[in-house]
Amino acid sequence: MKTSLRIAAALLTGLILCGAAAAKTINFSGYRWEVRNQGSSGPGPNVWNENNVWLDAQGQLHLKIAHRGGKWSAAELYLPQRLGFGSYQFKLIGRPDLFDDNIVLGLFNYPTPDIGQDGSNEVDIEFSRWGDASYPIGNYTVYPAVAGVQPTSSTFDFHLNGDYSTHRFNWSASQVYYQSLHGFQDGDQYQIASWRFAPADAQQRVPQQPLPLHLNLWLFQGKPPKDGKEVEVVIKEFKFIPAAAR
């Protein structure tokens, strides 16, 4: 994401998410997640509604931007367990390449206050045009381990050949390697995009401590979709492989 937009969009998220009690929990892909449920707050700001997060009969996770009673609401859940270095993989059902300009889908690690402030310690996969139809839809971003260092991003556009795609990042102390691929897979076929961030000063530029994982679907700057339509995506599976097991 553009740095200024990303920092503004995430303002106060760490304090809000880590300090507020979750309205409900769900068990998805072998992990217990907490679902966000609160009034207008960042990023966005958005209204976060627990009814926009649910599991179907196959155990797949649904996230929805909904319009009810004249109001738009977003979806978020997070994993209190801090998984640490390893491979984070998401099998997605939906068409992020066709998102309205104001839609944001985030698959990312985010710091708690004991680790760092907003604008630090994040490993992000985000799909959004940040309100600008000319901006690439795919965004990989690494936020630094220390405050005062600028984040680094790689953006890309793409067109899916169906409703299924796989997205992952492999995070270690020295680098983050991202991949997006067509279809559901655990290998490297049909790659859409990849990016390896391996800076010489990795101890400063790559997060070094385990972080909570967040999944969210929200509206950029709280603005409704330009097309006026609700949005739903499904995450078929989340898979984590610890670095020691690779």
Question: 5 pLDDT exceeds 60?
Answer: no
Whether residue 4 is predicted with pLDDT greater than 90 in this model: the reply is no
Q: What's the CA dihedral at 213, 119, 16, 214 to 10 degrees?
A: -20
Domain ranges of the chain: 3-245
Strand 86-93 with 191-197, pairing: unpaired
Give the pLDDT of residue 7.
40
What is the C-alpha separation between 40 and 42, in angstroms, rounded? Answer: 7
So what's the pLDDT on residue 245?
A: 61
Q: Rounded distance, CA 173 to CA 183, Å? A: 29
User: Averaged over 3-17, what is the pLDDT?
Assistant: 43
Per-residue pLDDT tens for 96-151? Answer: 999 999 999 999 999 999 999 999 999 999 999 999 999 999 999 999 999 889 99
Residue 147: per-residue pLDDT: 85
How high is the pLDDT of residue 244? 82
CATH architecture entry for 3-245: Sandwich (2.60)
Q: Is the pLDDT confidence value at 83 over 50?
A: yes
**Cβ within 8 Å of residue 57, ≥6 positions away:** none
Amino acid at 153: S
For 139-161, the pLDDT digits (tens) are 999 999 998 899 999 999 999 99
